[in-house]
Amino acid sequence: MEVCLTPDLIHQHRLEGKLVVVVDIFRATSCIVTGLAGSHIQAIRPVSTVEECLSYGQKGYIMAGERGGIQVDGFDMGNSPLEYARLGKNSAIDTSQKVAITTTNGSTAILKSLAAREIIIGAFLNLRAVADYIIVQSRQHPLRKDDSTTGGGVLIHCAGWEGRPNLEDTLFAGALIDACAGTQGLEACGDSALLARELYRAQTSHHLQNACVNPDLRPVALESDHGKRLVRLGHADDVHFCMERDKYDIVPKLNGEGEIAVAPTG
Ligand code: MLT
């Protein structure tokens, strides 16, 4: 398993033939997982610009997203997973519509992965489901010989922040590598993958020594740049929610129409 720490480094990875897991813990991929898991939304279309999102709004899509962590003026929704979790309950938004989403980093990471064989969406909220999906896929698409120089069949693409790596996505990459450990063909490959895995293991070794199955990563996440930014913007509850593990048992996947929907399992 390879890790790309920021979309600005994606040109250094070969995408063709790979299964790419896109991750933007704070908060785009946590929103996508929550939206598709619990709110009756059938599909979410990632787009790169505010203008593109507005044009999908005219076609009946719910317009969602942020710039700098703040909801875009005129959009129906911002980029809070808790907002997605409330959809369909007391919300005035019609969840039979699809969502068009544009965010500072997360939607870019998805759109920069389009050359991959398959793109799925990861977050701590669906970590186990993603790990299980990858393990099954790795049996169906075993490594070809020529993959050995490029790191194998799975690439975790971290959204980072404006071209820089970030703590929370790197931690997730390490957690996913750790969750797949022991499966042939899913070893950590390259220094970015080792860095992510060792970061995760360093953060969790204390918990594991105390036999805690789900280590609490919230304290370290609150130290991250975007964790602090979200707290400043009044979204501390989002930070806590995004660090919850295995809340949802779904794997969102980009389809041929450019929309993300729940991947069939089994
Ligand atoms: C992003 O794409 O950068 C984010 O999801 C930002 C955020 O809303 O927290």
User: Which ligand 1 atom lies nearest to the CA of residue 230?
Assistant: 9
Atom of ligand 1 nearest to the CA of 226: 9
Residue-level pLDDT at 200? 96
pLDDT at 149: 47
Which residue numbers in the chain have pLDDT < 50? 145, 148-151
The CA distance from 243 to 233, in Å, is: 18
- State which of 6, 23, 27, 53 you would mutate to test the pocket of ligand 1, scoring each by most atoms of that ligand within 8 A of its C-beta: 27
Ligand 1 site residues (CB inside 6 A) read 24, 26-28, 66, 69, 79, 103-106, 159
pTM, full prediction = 0.93
Would you say 83 and 41 are in contact if contact means Cβ atoms under 8 Å apart? no
Given this model, what pLDDT does residue 146 score? Answer: 52
Pocket test for ligand 1, best of 30, 66, 225, 239 (most atoms within 8 A of CB): 66
Cα(174)–Cα(145) distance, integer angstroms: 25
Atom 7 of ligand 1: nearest residue by CA position: 69
pLDDT at 64: 97
d(CA 71, CA 101) in angstroms, rounded, equals: 11
CA 166 to centroid of ligand 1, rounded, Å? 12
Distance 63 CA to ligand 1 centre (A): 15
Run of H or E residues at 66 = strand 62-67
Sign of the CA dihedral 199, 243, 69, 66?
Answer: positive
